[in-house]
Amino acid sequence: MPGSKRLTLKTIKNRENVHPYSRKARQISRVYMRKEKLEKKSNERSNNPKAERWLWFRFAFDESLSFATKADIHDLIDMYLKRNDEELQKLREERESSSFKRPKSSRENLLEALIQSERAEYVSGFELPDLTNGKNVKLLREWDGDQNGMSRIKTIRVTEASTDIEKKKTKSKSKSGVAAMDVEQ
């Protein structure tokens, strides 16, 4: 009987006087589990790290440019990786300024782990919106941060090794005349 499910506590009568193994107790537990699941999903929607990253790149990218070069993208990624350095340095100075040795705060540990994981991601491949395409940049600027709109925006994976390769290729560019772009799509 799908229509007879109780979805809220208001629909369950006499919920105070319930035997632990009764049908009513199971209904109440289902209502609480559903409520927790809905709260968890709403929190996941509001705390989407991928969307936050994309918004950071959206606002950090210069409005006057219609697209970015590969060097611009690597500069933006470096800025993104260093965005928490000031706060981390401040936490370290506060900890070291005390007369006795204090352990690291949970925020300091969290920031260090975040920086380490982001640097490792940059080495293996950092996913971000494709800023080399003018149409994609326009879509990114029109995007309001909604998770449903993210599927319209193309992404690329940029690695730290591609900067070293690019530096080597610019030296040999005078010989060959063209330098290829090492960006995966």
Instruction: Return all residues near 124 (Cβ < 8 A) that are at least 6 apart.
Output: 159
Greater pLDDT, 93 or 167:
93
107-132 pLDDT tens trace: 999 999 999 999 999 999 999 999 99
Is residue 176 predicted with pLDDT exceeding 90?
no
User: Average pLDDT, stretch 170-180?
Assistant: 47
- CA 12: distance to chain centroid? 40
Label residue 168 by pLDDT band (50, 70, 90): very low
- pTM here is 0.65
Domain boundaries, the chain: 49-176
Label residue 28 by pLDDT band (50, 70, 90): confident
84-110 pLDDT tens trace: 999 999 999 998 888 788 888 999 999
CATH topology of domain 49-176: de novo design (two linked rop proteins) (1.20.1440)
Cα 46 to Cα 98: distance, rounded to the nearest angstrom:
37
Backbone angles phi and psi of 155, in degrees to 5: -120, 160
| Residue 181 in tokens | 């772009």
54-82 pLDDT tens trace: 999 999 999 999 999 999 999 999 999 99
Is residue 172 predicted with pLDDT exceeding 50?
no
User: Average pLDDT, stretch 11-35?
Assistant: 82
